[in-house]
Amino acid sequence: MKITFGMVAKRFLLAAALMTTSCLLVTGFTYISGDKKLNIGSKKSSEKETEKEKKSGYDPSTSQYEDMSAYTICLDPAAGGNDEGNSEESRAEKDDNLTLAKKVKDILVNEMNFKVEMTRTSDEDVSDEDRVAKANDNNCNALISLSRGSYINANYSKGFENYIFHEEPANSLALSSYIMEKLNETGAMLSGSTMKGKPGNKSEDYYTNKASKMASVVVLTGYVTSDEDNEAFDNNTDAIATAIAEGIYNYFKNGVK
């Protein structure tokens, strides 16, 4: 049989087509035509991504909470890095604050669909100025600093306490009140209230309350110098985190800005 140039060319094109098809089945490819881009990957990879999406995130069909995606919350775990915060023996406030902040964030994001900024996500040094800048620069709607206290009066200093700017701005007072209401409902610690300034000094403010442009509150979840408070914190961390998140949720749900 006489082999012509046309026959050779056809066989070459057929072989090339078969090789290309094999590659597509194994690795996937990206095809670009005009202004359209089609990504074709392996079926196994796509199934993994879909499964990952199903396991996380807010689902309005199952959540008991309304969608709060219009609001951004800044969570500020006080202290960190070289600053241990208030401490007692081997217990450092900075660790408790970060543990609690991560739990609050998880509830806000995955159950209520808030957007959340964190001033720190690990044991790191963060200045007061940088904490406030995080909230202000990201146009957050509320700033909640999580803290724990140390004794001023050994017979009195225990339980929940919230602190706001000493001029008592209405939005901060409302935010604090909603959070404190839910905290007191837990019964985990001695019931508290909202106060202005700092512990022991009503005219001196926390920097986060003084310099922030939005509703802000310092939530003090007991005293590290109180064995009773420490036990309550350890045994009720999830309940405390839920209470803080639900207090924030109620503030926005009820239209207080």
CA distance 77 to 84: 11
pLDDT digit string, tens, across residues 208-227: 999 999 999 999 999 999 99
Q: Tell me the C-alpha to C-alpha distance, in Å, between residue 97 and each of 46, 80, 123, 215, 221.
A: 38, 9, 10, 20, 9
CA distance 82 to 90: 15
Model pLDDT, residue 6 = 52
pLDDT digit string, tens, across residues 84-125: 999 888 899 999 999 999 999 999 999 999 999 999 999 999
- Judge whether 173 and 194 are in contact, CB under 8 Å: yes
> pLDDT 10s per residue in the chain (257 long)?
444 545 544 554 455 544 444 443 334 433 333 443 334 343 444 444 333 334 449 999 999 999 999 999 999 999 999 999 998 888 999 999 999 999 999 999 999 999 999 999 999 999 999 999 999 999 999 999 999 999 866 556 789 999 999 999 999 999 999 999 999 999 999 999 999 999 888 889 999 999 999 999 999 999 999 999 999 999 999 999 999 999 999 999 998 76
Model pLDDT, residue 101 = 98
- What region, left, alpha or beta, does residue 113 occupy, with left being phi > 0 and alpha being psi -120 to 50 degrees? left
- What region, left, alpha or beta, does residue 65 occupy, with left being phi > 0 and alpha being psi -120 to 50 degrees? beta
CA distance 1 to 135: 81
Domains in the chain (CATH in brackets) are: 5-43 (no CATH), 63-253 (3.40.630.40)
